[in-house]
Structure 1
Amino acid sequence: MGAGVLHARTAAARLTLNRYPPSAGLAALVNNYWTVRWDLRGQPPHEQAILPHPTVNLAFEAAGAAVHGVDRKIFTRRIAEEGRVLGVRFRPGGFRPFYGRSVAALNDRVVPARSIFGPAADEACEAVMTDGASDDAMVAAAEELLLGQRVAADPLAERVAGIVERITADPGLRRVTALTEVAGMTERRLQRLFAQYVGVSPKWVMRRARLHEAALRAEAGADVDWPALALDLGYADQAHLVRDFTATLGVSPARYASRG
């Protein structure tokens, strides 16, 4: 499943996750749309854990539409009976043009979408949650809401997204000082830009990218060479990786791998 879904094999037996690309008009700001559907009628509820990315999400569900800021801890959602959710995963920095101020104010928070998008958010949620609505229809309702905001182009949002994508793609970027050279800006400016557009620091983004990769390797099913992986991901040694992984996910890498 990817995208931070922990214990993916177990999740696949409980829910269905699909992702869809944005239209060309929103591609600079939106990473993807995602839908989750489940039918657990007659079965126990399921608690799904997510290791969040440094991105803001807009979620539409039966309880209403809400904006989820960057979660700096594990996010756990309990699902039961039957239901569905449509989400908009913005690119890192991509929510800043809609919000109009520092997205750090949203960290670890969930706020009603209407407080940012106005009554149109509630109207879009009604359309999304219409009985029998297909994924295509739900995505179209979200697209209409976002396009209707008519946000101005923001070159900094695209630049920040590119920097974060570089961090994710290059495990060799292990220090903020190295990132400043890649980004072509001072450390102070980089820190301020990330606070305004991403909500978290470059160092936090680097650490989270390493943990995502470690979790994916652990779930791959094959024996993992933990000392080699630790070095590949920029940790000083295996013990450092184990401490970081355990502090964030609550279990050691080996225990996590054994759970599947």
Structure 2
Amino acid sequence: MACKNPTEASPPLDRAILSLPAGIKTGRILPSDELSPVVEHFWWVHWDTEEEQTSEVLSYPSIHVVFEKQEATVVGIVRKKFIRRLHGCGEVFGIKFRPAMFRQFDSTPAHKITDRTFPLDNSVWDRGVIGKILNSPSMTEKAYHAEMALHVPAQATDPQAIHIRDLVEHIRHNPEIRSVSDLTMRAGLTERSLQRLFRDYLGVPPKWVIRRFRLQEASECLAKGEGTIASVAAELGYFDQAHFARDFKSVVGLAPRHFLDKLQAKR
């Protein structure tokens, strides 16, 4: 079946983005239906700013392939808040793989990539294709070449990878999942087996994934003014604000009150 051209998309601001300063633009391009089970979207960032700006992202549990200047790299899951300081003019193009689905293209256990960046392996990715992506003048052309390169290997299926992908999506869309024990019945696995598969295919444990999604929800609610710190903490199942504040700070980098103060100062 012939590949369809990727489609431009203009979704709402991703809850993973904690701050997007002036002079920085970002967008997404959706893959074809055939590729969408493996790739969530292609993405791009462009900046043109005289003053140094800081972009902060609370990453989803996904591995990315990133193309910038003349380099192509694999970026593992970033467990802490990702901070990038931008100055001058530049752009980045990336591929966001669905959770666990990078395993379709690279057999390296995912935990060996977590919090690390590696050059894209030329034995897996054709150097000519990498060159086309790096040198294409538009983001839609970059996405087209990436789509063509990924289409055939994406047809291979790994049942374990698909199972972990679907479990992560279940956590993402079901706020009532608050503990690993909540997930084991859905997974049909023992907790030990679940931990092992998450380590090998995703790169982080299920507890980390659950907490990351729930705290992303918390930061979004607070940023939109959809509740107080106390009500958001209670909604997420925290029995006391102190525990919530510790978890929030460990992930976002700021206590909830300071997070709100920083948002208020920017308005």
TM-score, length-scaled by structure 2: 0.87
> In the aligned structure 2, how far is the partner of 1:59 from the partner of 1:82?
17
User: Which consecutive residues of structure 2, in runs of 5 or more, have no partner in the other structure?
Assistant: 1-12
Listed one character per residue, the Cα deviations across residues 89-127 of structure 1 (whole Å, up to 9, x for unaligned) are 111111112111311110110000135634x2x433432
Q: Which amino acid aligns with 2:35?
A: L
SS in 1 for 2:17: coil
Aligned position for 2:171? 167
Q: Is 2:53 aligned against 1:39?
A: no
- 2:27 counterpart SS class: strand
Q: Provide the residue aligned with 2:247 in structure 1.
A: 244
- C-alpha deviation, 1:243, in angstroms: 0.9
Separation in structure 2 between the aligned mates of residue 243 and residue 137 of structure 1, nearest angstrom: 44
Task: Confirm whether residue 71 of structure 1 aligns to residue 75 of structure 2.
Answer: no
> How far apart, CA to CA, are the structure 2 residues paired with 1:125 and 1:77?
24
- 1:61–1:124 Cα change, 3 Å: farther
Which of the numbers 226, 232, 236 marks the counterpart of 2:235? 232
Partner of 1:105: 112
Matched, 1:214 2:218: yes
Give the conservation status (yes or no) of the 8 Å contact 2:43–2:95.
yes
Alignment-mate amino acid for residue 107 of structure 1: T
SS at structure 2 position matched to 1:164: helix
Equivalent in 124, 128, 133 of residue 128 of structure 1: 133
Q: Equivalent residue of 2:91, what SS?
A: strand
Of 201, 209, 219, the match for 2:205 = 201
Q: Does 2:154 correspond to 1:147?
A: no
Structure 2 distance, partners of 1:210, 1:195, is 20
AA aligned to 1:199 is: G
| CA spacing shift, 1:152–1:46, aligned 2, 3 Å | same
Quote the RMSD (CA, aligned, Å).
1.8
Question: For the Cα contact (< 8 Å) 1:96–1:196, is it kept in 2?
Answer: no
SS of the residue corresponding to residue 137 of structure 1 reads helix
**What SS does the corresponding residue of 1:48 show, helix, strand or coil?**
strand
**Residues 231 and 150 (structure 1 numbering): CA distance in 2 closer, same or farther, change over 3 Å?**
closer
Q: 3-state DSSP class of the match of 1:80?
A: strand
8 A Cα contact 2:63 2:75, kept in partner? yes
Query: What amino acid does structure 2 have at the position aligned with 1:14?
Result: G
Q: Distance in 1 between matches of 2:226 and 2:216?
A: 17
Gaps of 5+ in 1: none
Q: How many residues align?
A: 251
Matches within 5 A, 1:14-33: 14-33=23-42
Query: Compared with structure 1, are the counterparts of its residues 246 and 116 closer, same or farther at alpha carbon in structure 2 (3 Å cutoff)?
Result: farther
